[in-house]
Amino acid sequence: MNCQKNIHIGWKLTAWVLIFNMQVFANANSLQEVDSVIYHRLKKIEKNFPLDVRDEVEVLIKEKMYQNREESQRILARAAEILPIIEKELWSKGLPSECKYIPLALSGLDPNYIGKSGGSGIWQLQYITAIRYGLAVNEWMDERRDIQRSTTAAIEHLIFLQKLYNHWGLTALAFFSSPAEVNAAIKRNKGNIDFWGVYEKTETYTRYLYQNLIAMIYLVNYYRDYDMTQHIVSEPDLIWVNAKSKPIKLINLASWLNIPVEQFLRWNAVYRLGIAPAEPKYKICIPKDRLMLYESYTESEDQLIKPIIEIPKEKEHTDEQIAEKKLNETTQSIVENNKEVKETYTEQKTFYTVVKGDNLGKIAQKFHVSISDLRSWNKIKGDHIYVGQKLIIIKKKKITVPVDKPTTEDKSKLEDKSKLEDKPKTIIETKPTTENSTEEWITYNVKPGDTVYGIASRFGISQETLIKNNGIKKNLIHPGQILKIKRK
């Protein structure tokens, strides 16, 4: 009986193990099937850029399709607006349309994005590259943030790189990094220009950007299969108009034109401070149907109009301004509480970022400091500085500090004290000489210019007596010396 029972239990355990193994096998097949779907979809759209499903690529794709769906939706919305502009430029230059995915991988098509390597705009162009292709980058504006102009510059750079490598995959790697890095990777690959071999020899961040490029290509082409939608925002006909004769705050102008602030700032992302400078050469992007309204806008209204749409407020004052305000309030309180203030100086450290065209002389003149001080503060040898360098500027600033204000009683005491200091202090000692007489001893504080003869004459005694009573040698006395003088 027990034997039959044990056999029955053994069959049950065997059945459970078989079922478990079948489930594991089924799960493995399903995972393999998912990978296979992604692989075949990518191969279906592969043209100029090599596409492959590697572990990192698969992770990025699944993040975009599942974990980061909201961010993917925002990227798709920007893509619906911006990609047609890029495609038009690519078509006019005869470049493959897949190049439109490069800014997606770099910035997610955010014109205000600043990358870890210092690039700016949707194409993440470096400063040197931007200047080479005629983009303006200064304290007022950064044309790398302008979609149209930065796209034109980026396409010129792509053409240059494609002439070097004659391979769009290598061109993309060079765009993500630099020709120097790709050349070094080719050298490490023993001169072989096999794409995936060179790819493996590039830096980690460059490989990540290419992986992100593949994931973005997958997202834009297959988002519908993951129940995502591409919200197409209808844009009005836009035109560029000349700036006014005075600087204009863009948030105030947006309110005047009755345009959402966020949308208006996106159209004019080229302005770094949100201010259009007062020069006609600068242009402002507005809807064509608001031209008359813009022409009626005056600079005086720029100070009066408040934005219709609330935007996050920036700090109203810098830390230095807040500290100065508190100091002024304290000074006022001191004055009101019958206290005086005196002026003194304090040092304030600020930082200045070197821009194109700067030199030590120009910067020293701008901040009213000496060139030698600039060298000392920043440990500069010679005159060499570079664009983007942060320089320390130390400026002396006049401040006021509280001092107790003397009362009328204190003033009278000070006056009496001053008078006493000018007069000899009297110490009266009574010594029995005769029955009805006393001797009076006084002290005198020697002042600059005094002589033994002059002091003796002043108190009506002989020089010999003064010298004898005070042990003076060679008629030498000095300011501050205390002399004892005996008078009857």
pLDDT band at 242 (very low <50, low <70, confident <90, very high): confident
Residue 314 lies in a domain: no
Residue 470 has pLDDT above 50, yes or no: yes
- Of 166-180, 182-196, 209-223, 258-272, minimum mean pLDDT range: 258-272
> What pLDDT score does 370 carry?
80
The residue-averaged pLDDT of 211-220 equals 95
Helices 69-93 & 147-165 angle (0-180, nearest 10): 70
> What pLDDT score does 310 carry?
39
Residue 314 has pLDDT above 90, yes or no: no
Residue 34 has pLDDT above 60, yes or no: no
- Domain of 159, CATH number, reads 1.10.530.10
**Are residues 128 and 210 part of one domain?**
yes
Residue 184 has pLDDT above 90, yes or no: yes
Residue 420 has pLDDT above 70, yes or no: no
352 φ, ψ to 5°? -125, 130
CA distances (Å), origin 368, targets 364, 396, 453: 6, 11, 56
- Domain of 357, CATH number, reads 3.10.350.10
**Are residues 202 and 68 part of one domain?**
yes
pLDDT band at 488 (very low <50, low <70, confident <90, very high): low
Residue 76 has pLDDT above 90, yes or no: yes
**Are residues 252 and 158 part of one domain?**
no
The residue-averaged pLDDT of 323-343 equals 53
Residue 40 lies in a domain: no
Residue 391 lies in a domain: yes
Residues 6+ apart with CB under 8 A from 354: 363, 385, 386, 387, 388, 389, 390, 391
In angstroms, rounded to a whole number, what is the distance separating the alpha carbons of residues 470 and 484? Answer: 6
**Are residues 149 and 245 part of one domain?**
no
> What pLDDT score does 106 carry?
95
pLDDT band at 311 (very low <50, low <70, confident <90, very high): very low
Range of the domain at 23: 1-34
Tokens of 59: 């992770």
Tokens of 7: 């056999």
Residue 433 has pLDDT above 80, yes or no: no
**Are residues 430 and 328 part of one domain?**
no
Highest mean pLDDT among 13-27, 241-255, 292-306, 460-474: 241-255
More confident residue, 116 or 428: 116
Residue 101 lies in a domain: yes
> What pLDDT score does 389 carry?
82
**Are residues 160 and 108 part of one domain?**
yes
The residue-averaged pLDDT of 213-236 equals 86
Residue 458 lies in a domain: yes
Going by the DSSP 8-state scheme, the letter that residue 95 receives in this structure is -
Cβ contact 195:175 at 8 Å? no
Residue 308 has pLDDT above 50, yes or no: no
**Are residues 111 and 247 part of one domain?**
no
CA distances (Å), origin 221, targets 45, 272, 467: 9, 34, 113
Residue 419 has pLDDT above 90, yes or no: no
Residue 456 lies in a domain: yes
Residue 10 has pLDDT above 60, yes or no: no
* Percent of residues, the chain, with pLDDT higher than 90: 31
Question: In sequence order, which ranges of 275-430 are alpha helices (DSSP H)?
Answer: 291-295, 299-304, 319-336, 360-367, 371-378, 408-422
The residue-averaged pLDDT of 42-60 equals 89
Q: Which of 262, 280, 304 is the last residue of a domain?
A: 304
> What pLDDT score does 273 carry?
84
More confident residue, 174 or 426: 174
Question: What integer best gives the mean pLDDT of the chain?
Answer: 77
Q: How far apart are the first and last CA of the chain?
A: 145
Residue 170 has pLDDT above 80, yes or no: yes
> What pLDDT score does 487 carry?
64
pLDDT, one tens digit per residue, over 91-120 is: 999 999 999 999 999 999 999 888 877 889
Residue 235 has pLDDT above 50, yes or no: yes
* Percent of residues, the chain, with pLDDT higher than 70: 72
* This prediction's pTM: 0.55
Sheet strands (E) in 213-276: 238-242, 248-249, 275-276
**Are residues 140 and 62 part of one domain?**
yes
**Block residue for tokens 């001092």:** 403
> What pLDDT score does 23 carry?
46
**Are residues 65 and 208 part of one domain?**
yes
In angstroms, rounded to a whole number, what is the distance separating the alpha carbons of residues 132 and 395? Answer: 36
**Are residues 281 and 148 part of one domain?**
no
Task: Sort residue 275 into left (φ over 0), alpha (ψ -120 to 50) or beta.
Answer: beta
Number of Cβ within 10 Å of residue 250's Cβ equals 21
* 378, burial (CB in 10 Å: exposed 0-12, middle 13-18, buried 19+): middle
CA distances (Å), origin 357, targets 279, 388, 476: 20, 12, 68
> What pLDDT score does 114 carry?
85
C-alpha neighbours within 13 Å on the C-beta side of residue 309: 16
The residue-averaged pLDDT of 306-323 equals 44
**Are residues 363 and 298 part of one domain?**
no
pLDDT, one tens digit per residue, over 365-393 is: 778 788 778 888 888 877 778 777 888 88
- Of 26-35, 184-193, 294-303, minimum mean pLDDT range: 26-35
Q: Which of 264, 279, 304 is the last residue of a domain?
A: 304
Residue 167 lies in a domain: yes
Kind plus residue range of the DSSP H or E element containing 209: helix 204-222
Residue 313 lies in a domain: no
More confident residue, 41 or 5: 41
- Of 30-34, 176-180, 440-444, minimum mean pLDDT range: 30-34
Overall domain count for the chain: 5
* 381, burial (CB in 10 Å: exposed 0-12, middle 13-18, buried 19+): exposed
**Are residues 120 and 167 part of one domain?**
yes
> What pLDDT score does 105 carry?
95
